[in-house]
Amino acid sequence: MSKLSKDEIGKLAPATRIVANGRNPDESFGFVSTPPYRGSTVLYPDADACLSHRNRYTYGRRGNPTMEALTSLWSELEGAAGTVVCPSGASACAVALLSVLGAGDHLLVTDSVYRPTRDFCDRVLARYGVTTTYFDPQIGAGISALFQPNTKAVFTESPGSLTFEMQDIPAIAAAAKAHGAVTLMDNTWATPLCFRPLDHGVDISINAATKYPSGHSDLLAGLVAANADTFPRVLKTHGDFGIYLGPDDVFLLLRGLRTMPLRLKEQAASALAIAEWLEKRPDVVSVAHPALPSHPGHALFKRDFSGASSLFGLTVKQMTRAQTVAFLDNAKLFGMGYSWGGFESLIIPVDATEFRTAVPFAPGGSAFRLQIGLEDTTDLITSLEAAFAAAAAA
């Protein structure tokens, strides 16, 4: 915002920085939000500017005021040297990996990684001569034993967005640095409001902006932020692929970001309350929420994270297919959909047995994943009570 310098904004609380940063009403004729700039061609004011490429913007794909508003806001929030915007979270993971890997390289990836990222490693990177080793998410500093002479990168995700294991990110990042490798982290679960990867030794932070930054389940986007040593490689790869997100989606993403702190705070509180309620039920085997003291990674969560989000796992006593159907169909306030971070609550069944390789998936019962939205907490609990009753009666 024009009334505050970047240094002044940087001293404010995150929620205030998200409101104040990434917009300049003086350059938008006084309008509060930067409008969506649609266009490909950018005209130079004169021949000298054209010959020296002196324009602030040179071509639509290379940036415009709307895109700059988003990337400057996100870079400041992450503490990054720069950010690129991708058309989805999966695309962001791919761009980040391709920025630091080449033919003949070796990659270490957490066994709890987002499934599309795993597929990209196994299907695409493998075709171009990159080998991948999946490791136990809870390996910590022990990851040093897995490095090979050609290991160039380590891909982490904490907690895993399907099985919720916590990772010792500082220890893993330190091991990677000692071996000359780059550390990447999918930080979609926490966002930089609850965990800033670059502050803990990570080089590249990835966020599926489809989730909490958007917050309204109406767009797809991904953000890749990196430190000063790594960002030039990310920017070059992003440009070489000609990746671009349309201005209207960028505008919507900026609009969603302004309220992300409030939404995330409300959803996190509701999610924890529901997780605590579930943990007390006799038909529940375990609740995989890092903020619960019972979670195996709770100590790491308390040490490194400033807050939680709205996504967690649930394992109940083994259900038959009929009971599972009754449970899902009668949780009527919970939609069944493979996303999260929006305003609505969701639930899906979970089975990672077919793709986990380093650590077998053995939840000890029927597993589900819950995303808690902005509905009233009491209403959501009532809906889950009805689901449990229906399953018991099936």
Mean confidence (pLDDT) of the chain: 94
Q: Which residue has the tokens 């940036």?
A: 63
> Looking at 37, 114, 134, 212, which residue is catalytic?
114
Please report the pLDDT score of residue 2 as a whole number: 53
Given a contact cutoff of 8 angstroms between Cβ atoms, the answer to whether 353 and 369 are in contact is no
Please state, in angstroms and as integers, the Cα–Cα distance from residue 45 to each residue in 14, 37, 52, 64, 152, following that order: 38, 19, 12, 16, 44
If phi over 0 gives left and psi between -120 and 50 gives alpha, with beta otherwise, what is residue 30?
left
- Does the domain formed by 260-393 have CATH 1.10.1740.10? no
Given a contact cutoff of 8 angstroms between Cβ atoms, the answer to whether 308 and 161 are in contact is no
Distance CA 153, CA 155 (A): 7
Provide mean pLDDT across the span 216-241: 97
Distance CA 380, CA 334 (A): 8
203 is a catalytic site residue? no
212 is a catalytic site residue? no
Please report the pLDDT score of residue 341 as a whole number: 96
Please report the pLDDT score of residue 39 as a whole number: 86
Q: Which residue has the tokens 């990674």?
A: 297
- Does the domain formed by 6-258 have CATH 3.40.50.10210? no
Higher pLDDT, 40 or 389: 389
The confidence band for 151, taking pLDDT boundaries of 50, 70 and 90, is very high
Give the three-class secondary structure for 7.
Answer: helix
114 is a catalytic site residue? yes
* 60 pLDDT higher than 90: no
pLDDT for 236-252, tens place per residue? 999 999 999 999 999 99
* 323 pLDDT higher than 70: yes
**Which pairs count as long-range contacts for 290-295, CB under 8 Å and 24+ apart, including other chains?**
290/159, 290/164, 290/166, 295/164, 295/166
| Two tokens, residue 219 | 């767009």
| Two tokens, residue 134 | 């999946």
> Looking at 23, 196, 211, 258, which residue is catalytic?
211
Please report the pLDDT score of residue 42 as a whole number: 80
The residues with which 368 forms a beta bridge, in sequence order, are 314, 349
* 367 pLDDT higher than 70: yes
- Of 25-34, 150-159, 218-227, 272-281, the range with the lowest mean pLDDT is 25-34
Give the three-class secondary structure for 335.
Answer: strand
Enumerate residues 6+ apart whose C-beta is below 8 A from 109.
117, 118, 121, 132, 133, 134, 135, 154, 155
pLDDT for 65-74, tens place per residue? 899 999 999 9
> Looking at 105, 168, 186, 203, which residue is catalytic?
186
Distance CA 310, CA 271 (A): 5
Provide mean pLDDT across the span 347-369: 94
Give the three-class secondary structure for 195.
Answer: coil
Higher pLDDT, 211 or 20: 211
Distance CA 344, CA 372 (A): 7
Distance CA 137, CA 340 (A): 22
> Looking at 11, 38, 54, 61, which residue is catalytic?
61
The residues with which 185 forms a beta bridge, in sequence order, are 156, 205
pLDDT for 83-131, tens place per residue? 999 999 999 999 999 999 999 999 999 999 999 999 999 999 999 999 9
Domain borders along the chain are 6-258, 260-393
Distance CA 173, CA 317 (A): 37
Neighbours of 243 (CB within 10 A): 19
186 is a catalytic site residue? yes
* 155 pLDDT higher than 90: yes
